[in-house]
Amino acid sequence: MQYCKRCKITVRNPRRKCPLCQGNLEGTLEEENQMFPDLRRESSRMAMGFRIFSFVCIAACVAAVSVNWILGFHSFWSGYVLAGVGCMWILSAVAIVKRRNLFKNAVWEAVLLWAVFLFWDYITGWRGWSVNFGIPIVLLAVYVILWVIVFVTRAPVPHYMIYMVMVSVGSLVPLVLLLYGAVSVRMPSVLCVAGAVLMLSALAIFKGRALGEELRKKTHL
């Protein structure tokens, strides 16, 4: 058991500092008395793992540019390697930062994947696969992922309602592209819009009251 002389209290959960005065504690750490999980250890391990991952990414980029340089810059193929590693690093960084909120994580990853698909479609000569397949398929996948998270975690309505609405509103992008004839393959975009209509309908029918209350809270109406 740990003890603080200044506050004259005992601390059951192992700590380095007194929770009241932030002074040093006396006594020995007793892991069996730990009441709450030590999130600092988890964060430390996660941070170290991400540092190692970042170093591996930098090493891959340096190796690609070095090989390209040795063979001669007849074609700058290492630029694609740099872009790919950079996209992977950004997606991984956001996944780690937003890991405690799975719903927010899914929405952030979807938005980033849109940007990644558009970027790669552009730098490879714009064949339109990003708007024909990339954006609608990402939205369809997010629909499924959000509902799976809801059923697995049994999350309360306020935790996921706003993210469902945000993803459904995101389907306006493929809808606008469809209406303006910007897509050459219609099926993925049509399925995406249909999925958004079904999602909003399910929320309105089965969770209508909770949906209204949550929207009033978010919009302060």
pLDDT tens sequence across 48-86: 889 999 999 999 999 999 999 999 888 899 999 999 999
* Top-confidence residue, 191 or 216: 191
Where is pLDDT greater, at 204 or 65? Answer: 65
- Judged against a pLDDT cut of 60, whether residue 37 lies above it is answered with no
Q: Is the pLDDT of residue 120 over 80?
A: yes
Q: How far apart are CA 57 and CA 150, in angstroms?
A: 34
What pLDDT was estimated at residue 64?
Answer: 96
CA distances from 182 to 139, 142, 194, 197 (A): 18, 23, 18, 21
* Structure tokens belonging to residue 26: 């006396």
Q: Any idea which of 29-33, 160-164, 214-218 has the lowest mean pLDDT? A: 29-33
pTM listed for this prediction: 0.76
- Better-predicted residue by pLDDT, 12 or 91: 91
User: How far is the first Cα of the chain from the last one, in angstroms, to the nearest whole number?
Assistant: 51
pLDDT given for residue 93 in this prediction: 94
- Asked whether residue 129 carries a pLDDT value surpassing 80, the answer given is yes
Whether the per-residue pLDDT at 33 is higher than 80: the answer is no
Share of the chain above pLDDT 70, in %: 86
Taking residues 5-34, report their average pLDDT.
68
pLDDT at 10 > cutoff 90: no
Answer whether residue 190 shows pLDDT above 90.
yes
User: How far is it, in rounded angstroms, from Cα 207 to Cα 221?
Assistant: 19
Q: State yes or no: pLDDT of 38 exceeds 90.
A: no
Residues 166-192, mean pLDDT to the nearest whole number: 92
HSE, side-chain direction, 13 A CA sphere, residue 208 = 4
Please state, rounded to an integer, the average pLDDT across all residues of the chain: 86
